Structure formats: C-alpha cells, structure tokens
Structure 1
Amino acid sequence: MFDRRSTLRQRVYYGGRLVFQARASTFDCIVRNFSVNGAQVEVDNPAAVPDTVELMIPRQGISYFGRIVWRLENMAGLVLETPRRHVDSLPLDIALRLRATERVNQQLRTQLSELRSQF
C-alpha cells in the first residue's frame, strides 16, 4: 500500500475529543497515531462526526482544526492544520457549563418579564 503522508506519524495513545457545531457537540476519542499534519483517531461512531472538526488533546493542552479524509468502522483519519494552545481559551467543560447557565438565565429573565407584565 502506498503511503501518501508527507510526514511520519508516531504511534501514540492519547485521550482526545472531537469538537464541532460551535463547541456544542463533542465525541471522546483515542488518538492512535499522530503527526503535525494528521492523526488517526478511534471513535465509537465516525459516521456521526462531520467532515470538519476540532481535535482537542487535553494532555498536551493543544487543539487542531482538521478535516476527516477517511472513515472505517470505528476509526477515522484527519488532516490537521496548525496547532493552537488553549492557554487563553476556556476549557471545553467550563464553556459548556457557561453556555447552559446563560440559557437558564435567559429563561428566568423571560419568566420574570412575564410575571411583571401580569401585575
């Protein structure tokens, strides 16, 4: 089989997360091999993951925007862009909790305005 990769990939075993839909949806994954240009990930249902994703590797504190170029059973191959450190961004779990809190806050404001309009 002909290997078209421009850089050699290292075998790794990292816990990762595929993030998409403006950070509203995530899939946990295992990064099986990795280079600065691409990665192979193991995910439960690769067919449910869109073509463009963000691959986060919390252990390294790095995320990559990428594009899925192949899918087989529970594996997928990604082409990756330049890495980004998450130093100045919120961790994903905090961002998700913040978004949920903002939704609840908006619902409470709506209920409050409805109650005020009754009096």
Structure 2
Amino acid sequence: MTIERRRAPRLRSLLGGRVSFNQRNSTLDCVVRNLSEDGALLLLSDAVALPNAFDLDIPRQQRSCIARIRWRDGERVGVAFETQAAAGIVPLDMARRLKQCEQDNARLKSRILQLTEAG
C-alpha cells in the first residue's frame, strides 16, 4: 500500500488539456485524468519530450497554470502546479495584454465621461 502524500484530494476527470512550452510556440494536446488544487495526472504520448516546467491550459475549467513534472511513467505524467508566488515571473505576453487592457479601460472611461457630460 502506498502512502498518500498529496495535500488536496484528486478528483477523477476526463478533460481535454493543452501543454505549451518554448514560449508557447510548442503545444501538445493531453487528457487530464485527475485534478486537484495542487496538481494533476496527464496522459500524453510517451514519445513526447517535455521540459520540466510548462504551461497547462484546461479550457473546460477555464484554468491555466504553470505545471512542474513530479514523475513520469510512459504516457502518464504527474504534475504539481506552481503557485503564483512561486512562479514569480509574469510571461511577457500576459504583461503586454494587461497593459493593453489597462489602456483600453482608461480610453473607455474617458469616452464614457465625454458622453455623460455631453448628454
């Protein structure tokens, strides 16, 4: 019998996922077989070479996170999710999108103010 070392229980799932690495230039589809707050079990082709850490997107859960490989056995890959504090670095594309959204927000607020003053 093995000792359970996970902090949060895993729930069985059958979700589609996407693994991204190489600055999101390389992507692979995967199946998420179980999922928790802290990690997941992924099914991937065993021929695929993966970096130790990569981005994992699970569209049906509207979830995106940085995953770090904890173990691998053929097609099965156990990953732990990095917390935002542990990740430390914000991807450049996300920082650019945030800046663009902030600029759009300021522009829209200005336009709303103009329209309410004119009306």
Q: Same fold (TM over 0.5)?
A: yes
Cα 1:3–1:38 change in 2 (3 A) is same
- Per the TM alignment, residue 82 of structure 1 is displaced from its structure 2 partner at its CA by 4.0
Cα 1:40–1:5 change in 2 (3 A) is same
In 2, distance between residues paired with 1:47 and 1:5?
26
In 1, distance between residues paired with 2:28 and 2:16?
11
In 2, distance between residues paired with 1:40 and 1:2?
17
Q: Percent identity?
A: 40
Answering whether residue 13 of structure 2 is matched by residue 12 of structure 1, we say: yes
- Per the TM alignment, residue 61 of structure 1 is displaced from its structure 2 partner at its CA by 1.9
RMSD: 1.6
In 1, distance between residues paired with 2:8 and 2:63?
19
Cα 1:46–1:37 change in 2 (3 A) is farther
Cα 1:46–1:54 change in 2 (3 A) is farther
Answering whether residue 36 of structure 2 is matched by residue 38 of structure 1, we say: no
Kept in 2, the 8 Å contact 1:41–1:75? The answer is: yes
Residue by residue over 1:53-94, the C-alpha shift from the partner in whole angstroms, topping out at 9 and shown as x without a partner, is: 1110011221011100100010100000248xxxxx6xxxxx
Cα 1:46–1:39 change in 2 (3 A) is farther
- Which amino acid in the other structure matches residue 66 of structure 2? F
Total equivalences in the alignment: 84
Q: Please, which runs of 5 or more residues in structure 2 have no aligned partner?
A: 85-93, 95-119
Q: Please, which runs of 5 or more residues in structure 1 have no aligned partner?
A: 84-88, 90-119
In 2, distance between residues paired with 1:47 and 1:32?
18
In 2, distance between residues paired with 1:78 and 1:46?
17
Q: TM-score, normalised by structure 1?
A: 0.66
Residue in structure 1 matched with residue 50 of structure 2 by the alignment: 49
Answering whether residue 59 of structure 2 is matched by residue 58 of structure 1, we say: yes
- Which amino acid in the other structure matches residue 31 of structure 1? V
Q: TM-score, normalised by structure 2?
A: 0.66
